[in-house]
Amino acid sequence: MLMRPLLNTLVLGGALALPSLHAQTYPAKPVTVIVPFAAGGGVDATARLILPKLAEILKQPVVIDNVAGAAGTIGADKAAKARPDGYTLLFAVASPLNVAPLVAPAAVRYDTFKDFTPLAIVAVGPFVLIGRNTLPAANTAELVRLVRARPGKLNFGTDGVGTSLHVTAETIRQRAGLDMVHVPYKSGPQVLTDVAGGQVDLAVLPLTLAQPYIREGKVRAYGVTTARRWPGFPEVPALAETPELKGLDIESWLGLLGPAHLPPQVTATLVGALEQAMKDPEIARRLAEIANRPSVIAGPQFADYLARERKQVQEVVTRANIKVE
pLDDT digits (tens, 9 = 90+) for 5-41: 433 444 444 444 444 444 459 999 999 999 998 888 8
Q: Phi/psi of residue 124, each to 5°?
A: -135, 160
CB 79 within 8 A of CB 107: no
223 burial level (CB within 10 Å; 0-12, 13-18, 19+): buried
pTM, entire model:
0.86
Query: Among 123, 128, 127, which residue's Cα sits nearest to residue 284?
Result: 123
pLDDT digits (tens, 9 = 90+) for 195-233: 999 999 999 999 999 999 999 999 999 999 999 999 989
CB 260 within 8 A of CB 84: yes
Lowest mean pLDDT among 42-46, 92-96, 167-171, 266-270: 42-46
| Percent of the chain topping pLDDT 70 | 92
How many CB atoms neighbour CB 206 within 10 A? 25
pLDDT at 244: 96
Mean pLDDT of 84-98: 97
Query: Among 118, 66, 149, which residue's Cα sits nearest to residue 271?
Result: 118
Four-residue CA torsion sign, 51, 290, 292, 188 = negative
Which CATH class name applies to 32-125+251-320?
alpha beta
- The helix-helix angle for 264-277 and 42-58 (nearest 10°) equals 110
CA Rg value for the chain: 23
Q: Give the CA angle between residues 206, 168, 89 to the nearest 5°.
A: 65
Q: Indicate whether 70 pLDDT > 90.
A: no
Give the integer Cα–Cα distance in Å for 20 and 26: 12
pLDDT digits (tens, 9 = 90+) for 121-162: 999 999 999 999 999 999 999 999 999 999 999 999 998 898
Q: Indicate whether 80 pLDDT > 70.
A: yes
Q: Indicate whether 2 pLDDT > 50.
A: no
Q: Can you give the residue ranges of every domain in the chain?
A: 32-125+251-320, 126-245
CB 192 within 8 A of CB 205: yes
Give the integer Cα–Cα distance in Å for 58 and 274: 10
Q: Indicate whether 120 pLDDT > 70.
A: yes
Domain 126-245 has CATH 2.40.50.90: no
Q: Indicate whether 84 pLDDT > 90.
A: yes
Going by the DSSP 8-state scheme, the letter that residue 237 receives in this structure is: P
32-125+251-320 and 126-245: identical CATH topology = yes
Give the integer Cα–Cα distance in Å for 72 and 103: 13
74 burial level (CB within 10 Å; 0-12, 13-18, 19+): middle
pLDDT at 38: 87
Query: Among 265, 246, 269, 242, which residue's Cα sits nearest to residue 256?
Result: 269
